[in-house]
Amino acid sequence: MSHSSIHWFRKGLRLHDNPALIAALKDCRHIYPLFLLDPWYTSNTHIGINRWRFLIEALRDLDSSLKKLNSRLFVVSGPPTEVLPKLFEKWKITRLTFEVDTEPYSQSRDQEVMKLAKEYGVEVIPKISHTLYNIDRIIDENNGKTPLTYVRFQSVVKAIGPPKKPVPAPTEEDMKGVSTPFSEDHEDEFEIPSLEDLGLDTSSLGPDLFPGGEQEALRRLDEHMQRTGWVCKFEKPQTSPNALIPSTTVLSPYVRFGCLSARTFWWRLTDVYRGKQHSEPPVSLHGQLMWREFFYTTAVGIPNFNRMEGNTNCVQVDWENNPERLAAWREARTGFPFIDAIMTQLRQEGWIHHLARHAVACFLTRGDLWISWEEGQKVFEELLLDADWSLNAGNWQWLSASAFFRQYFRVYSPIAFGKKTDKQGDYIKKYLPVLKKFPAEYIYEPWKAPRSIQERAGCIVGKDYPRPIVEHEVVHKKNIQRMKAAYAKHSPQDKTPTRGVKRKATSIMDMLEKKAKR
């Protein structure tokens, strides 16, 4: 049979390692590459302007790659359950393919779409390619239980074997006999919208440091993989939160949107490692991709993963509702230059280093402000280019010592932590120019500078830059006691035991937390 196929791009905005797209092309006469602007996302999630730009750039890049195959991307606005049936009829569709997405909304959306497709006699082919493994299989292999530690998780995936090899991008050969029926006025109906078309306020757009798209992703991957010594020696805890040039790959936005396949990333690393001594998980780059896989697995296995309530793996904490303090954190007005510089970089550029995320997440929650990790999760969801439902929730639970990590008594100092890798405070001076004339001695604690120094620096604390909103030395000790009380009431892992776990080995996160000073 000659099929008319829709390949529905959601994440997976790429041609390489796209098994669902390859399945769409099999015995196919007409292929319609489709992207839906689903209003659910705009009304239920927070997407900052920098991420919108990344998405639009990724769609443009995809369209230009499709053009090279004599095809085009069709962009349509509307809920999938309304749009797809209309397109099934209009385009006489017999087959729908897409990449499996494990997020709760995507799961329920895809269930409904599959039901509808059946009614319209459309064959549906979902393929796994966003994650390294089939997440359900990982849970099955662990006797149907979600592995709750990285060590346990590693032993399960070790038994499964290495991830599948990525599939090559379709070639002109694969497209023989397949066409995309697009018209000359394709743009009129199916154009990729601009930020202005979407009615978005572009006044707060930051510099375009990480342009979206598969070509850019593969170029950046190539660039990193050529640094074989760096790749082989990569140890996450040795990288710096406040380096002026990122000390890790910044491939996360590309992996998040699927401009870069995690399997391609994985196998390229394997190629670099071959025959050489190299670092190992959890600290290596393979280890980082495993963290991603670990949090995807827990996000699938633990109900209400992005919330405290109803999440049995999460310590129930009496976080405070404090809108003023939350706004000060979000808007880089805490009076702690290291924290404010990180929050400024996040807002302007959409990416911050993993340890910088540690610092601000600990500060917001158990360290200083005693505000729920769910509030921090929302701010990251808006501002991160790589904002990812599973990874954001999992890491916020970790940092707030609500799940996975239990050493709540190890608190990052908003003063000492940054100094370790940036004594002069160059990072602070870059993102908080108001402090740029402060001597290094006071750059992390400007409120301690004598008045004469503040005057010489042209910045009076309390007027030109805020005073600290809390006294770290006092609040963090109080908060440790509050965490202790929360743990005494609720010890989550006792409620969700994992078979076969005898001890919790040191993980990368433990190592990172150990670096924290009180």
**Edge-to-edge, what's the strand order for the sheet holding 95-99?**
74-77, 28-37, 3-9, 95-99, 123-127
| Binding-site size, ligand FAD (CB under 6 A) | 29
Q: Which of residues 318-357 bind ligand FAD (CB under 6 A)?
A: 353-354, 357
How many whole angstroms separate alpha carbon 286 and alpha carbon 117? 38
Residue number, 53 or 354, with CB nearest to ligand FAD: 354
CB of 287 to ligand FAD, least distance (A): 8
Q: Which is nearer to ligand FAD, 7 or 292 (CB)?
A: 292
Interface positions, 115-144, toward ligand FAD (CB under 6 A) = none
For residue 134 the two structure tokens come to 């089939």
Q: Which is nearer to ligand FAD, 15 or 251 (CB)?
A: 251
The sign of the dihedral angle between the CA atoms of 201, 342, 402, 141 is positive
CB-side neighbour CA atoms (13 Å) of 490: 18
291 binds ligand FAD (CB under 6 A): yes
Q: What is the DSSP letter of 448?
A: G
Does residue 282 have a cis bond before it (omega within 30 degrees)? yes
- Smallest separation, CB 175 to ligand FAD (Å): 31
Q: Which of residues 187-246 bind ligand FAD (CB under 6 A)?
A: 236
Query: Residue 144 CB, nearest distance to ligand FAD (Å)?
Result: 24
**257 sits near ligand FAD (criterion: CB under 6 A):** no
Binders of ligand FAD among residues 362 to 381 (CB under 6 A) are 380
Q: Which of 288, 311, 334, 372 binds ligand FAD (CB under 6 A)?
A: 288
Q: Please tell me the distance from the alpha carbon of residue 24 to that of residue 69, in angstroms, as a whole number.
A: 14
As a whole number of angstroms, the distance between CA 511 and CA 239 comes to: 12
Question: Which CB sits closer to ligand FAD, 32 or 153?
Answer: 153
Out of 87, 96, 383, 384, the only residue in the binding site for ligand FAD (CB under 6 A) is: 384
The neighbour count for residue 98, using CB atoms within 10 Å, is 26
Indicate the residue among 246 and 466 with the shorter CB distance to ligand FAD: 246
Residue 81 CA to residue 86 CA, distance in Å, equals: 9
* One of 142, 249, 298, 306 touching ligand FAD (CB under 6 A): 249
Choices 252-260, 312-320, 333-341, 469-477; region in contact with ligand FAD by CB under 6 A: 252-260
Q: Could you please report the per-residue DSSP string of 4-58?
A: EEEEEESS--SSTT-HHHHHHHTTEEEEEEEEEE-HHHHHHS---HHHHHHHHHH
CA distances from 455 to 242, 425, 449, 458, 467 (A): 27, 19, 10, 5, 15
- Residues 396-415: x where in contact with ligand FAD by CB under 6 A, - otherwise, as a string: x--x----------------
The nearest distance, CB 459 to ligand FAD, in angstroms, is 30
Determine, following the binding rule CB under 6 A, whether residue 391 of this chain makes contact with ligand FAD.
yes
| C-beta of residue 259 within 8 angstroms of C-beta of residue 16 | no
Nearer to ligand FAD, 23 or 315 (CB): 315
What are the φ and ψ backbone dihedral angles of 236, each rounded to 5 degrees?
-50, -45
Helix (H) or strand (E) holding 109: helix 104-119
* CB 400 within 8 Å of CB 492: no
292 vs 410, beta carbon nearer ligand FAD: 292
Q: Count the Cβ atoms, other than its own, within 10 Å of residue 216.
A: 19
Among 69, 361, 428, 480, binds ligand FAD (CB under 6 A): 361
Choosing from 99, 349, 388, 445, the residue that interacts with ligand FAD (CB under 6 A) is 388
Cβ at position 75, least distance to ligand FAD in Å? 25
CA–CA gap between residue 49 and residue 348 (Å, rounded): 10
Residue 98 belongs to what H/E stretch?
strand 95-99
Give the interface segment with ligand FAD, choosing from 23-31, 164-172, 282-290, 303-311 (CB under 6 A): 282-290
Q: Which of these ranges, 205-213, 214-222, 291-299, 481-489, lies near ligand FAD under the rule CB under 6 A?
A: 291-299
The gap between the terminal CA atoms of the chain, to the nearest Å, is 68
The reply on whether position 278 binds ligand FAD by CB under 6 A is no
Of the pair 291, 336, the CB lying nearest ligand FAD is at: 291
Residues of this chain that interact with ligand FAD (CB under 6 A) are 236, 248-252, 255-256, 285, 288-289, 291-292, 295, 353-354, 357-358, 361, 380, 384, 386-388, 391-392, 395-396, 399
